[in-house]
Amino acid sequence: MGFTTVMITSGPNLYLPKRARSFHLPIRCLSSSSLSVSSQPSKSTQFDLKTYWTGLMAEIDQKLEEAIPVKYPEQIYEAMRYSVLAKGAKRAPPVMCVAACELFGGSRLAAFPTACALEMVHAASLIHDDLPCMDDDSVRRGQPSNHTIYGVDMAILAGDALFPLGFRHIVTHTPTEIVPEARILRVVTEIARTVGSTGMAAGQFLDLKGGPNSVDFIQEKKFGTMSECSAVCGGLLAGAEHDEIERLRRYGRAVGVLYEVVNDVMEAKLKEKENTENSQKKGKSYVSLYGVEKAMEVVEELRTQAKNELDGFSKYGESVVPLYSFVDYATDRGFDVDDLSQ
């Protein structure tokens, strides 16, 4: 099958490649620590994303600590807290949610309950992804995966418990004097769609059972949907208009896939540099199917797509800069987010 570019669509339909496309995009070398695919000027050059991210992480970490106290039966809560409060957690979903909410003038007070819920849902999905019957990963963020510490049975229960806890946290902690109940309902619906049979579950299913021509759908649903949901929820909380929500949807999805493709490219280049065995991780990716060069071309397309969507928010001035900076970070990795939680 010929290589085709990823299509970041706005609907739930499965995308299957129809014909191969030629690429004529600037490609540069990838180092083991960063990726540079374009010399185009950036709107986020002067923005200190590291400081912004660090400040938000500290607030989010504290609220997550409070949101998951240890109760009876203690072991389930301990397993839940192990993954949600793990050192090295990047907090990307909640940070993007807050940034999108602030773009439209929303407050952090309005966004934090949903931001915490997104982290709970994200942690639950990672717990389940790591299981032996799924991606079979024994390490997560440099630490043993949940099931290697607590056992497969407890890991399944911890993930199962985190999903509804996230929904409950939104409903019980979002101040209705700031966020109307109708918006809260839309946020809950958006997250439910994200984790369900048309979202991450569908992506995981095809990662396990799909053929090579399902890679676009897998990347979009398994990795793009969480980022998409985070951006959309922030906009919903702040009362963004329908066309603005759809821009956020396309932007978030592109950034989510972009981040994962860059991860795969960096991993492949590191293995090549260290002359290690070419043992690709379980799952389907652009790198494993088409190689590093073509995957880097996808990176450039996704970066352009994401920034093109943000150009539609120019009327909000500097408030959109954090969202631009996430695109550049996803591509270039200007700092190590793992260090922010130390």
pLDDT tens digits along 176-205: 999 999 999 999 999 999 999 999 999 999
Which of 13-22, 67-76, 280-289 has the least mean pLDDT? 13-22
Q: At what angle do helices 92-103 and 225-238 cross, to 10 degrees?
A: 30
Across 238-301, where does the E strand assignment appear? none
pLDDT of amino acid 1: 33
C-alpha distances out from residue 109 to 60, 96, 115, 121, 172, Å: 11, 15, 10, 20, 13
Task: Please tell me the distance from the alpha carbon of residue 286 to that of residue 292, in angstroms, as a whole number.
Answer: 8
Task: Please tell me the distance from the alpha carbon of residue 62 to that of residue 64, in angstroms, as a whole number.
Answer: 5
| Chain mean position to CA 108 | 20
- The CATH fold of domain 49-275+282-332: Farnesyl Diphosphate Synthase (1.10.600)
Task: Report residue 272 as tokens.
Answer: 């090549």
Task: Please tell me the distance from the alpha carbon of residue 111 to that of residue 95, in angstroms, as a whole number.
Answer: 10
C-alpha distances out from residue 130 to 148, 175, 187, 203, Å: 10, 35, 27, 14
The answer on pLDDT for 65 being more than 80 is yes
Q: What pTM value is reported for the model?
A: 0.86
Is 267 exposed, middle or buried, given 0-12, 13-18 or 19+ CB atoms closer than 10 A?
middle
**Which residues are CB-neighbours of 20 under 8 A, at least 6 positions away?**
1, 2, 3, 4
Q: Average pLDDT, stretch 56-70?
A: 97
Q: Where are the domains of the chain?
A: 49-275+282-332
Tell me the per-residue pLDDT of 286-330, one tens digit each, with 9 for 90 and over: 898 889 999 999 999 999 999 999 999 999 999 999 999 999 999
Give the number of other CB atoms < 10 A from CB of residue 1.
11
First to last CA, the chain: 45
Contact 190, 232 (CB under 8 A): yes
Q: Give the chain's radius of gyration (CA, Å).
A: 19
Q: Coil, helix or strand for 90?
A: coil
Which of 17-31, 91-105, 144-158, 262-276 has the least mean pLDDT? 17-31
Contact 310, 318 (CB under 8 A): no
Tell me the per-residue pLDDT of 108-161, one tens digit each, with 9 for 90 and over: 999 999 999 999 999 999 999 999 999 999 999 889 999 999 999 999 999 999
Tell me which of 23 and 78 has the higher pLDDT.
Answer: 78
Tell me which of 61 and 274 has the higher pLDDT.
Answer: 61
Contact 256, 227 (CB under 8 A): yes
Which of 73-77, 204-208, 230-234, 302-306 has the least mean pLDDT? 204-208
The distance between the two most distant Cα atoms of the chain, rounded to a whole number of Å, is 59
Tell me the per-residue pLDDT of 241-250, one tens digit each, with 9 for 90 and over: 999 999 999 9
Tell me which of 289 and 166 has the higher pLDDT.
Answer: 166
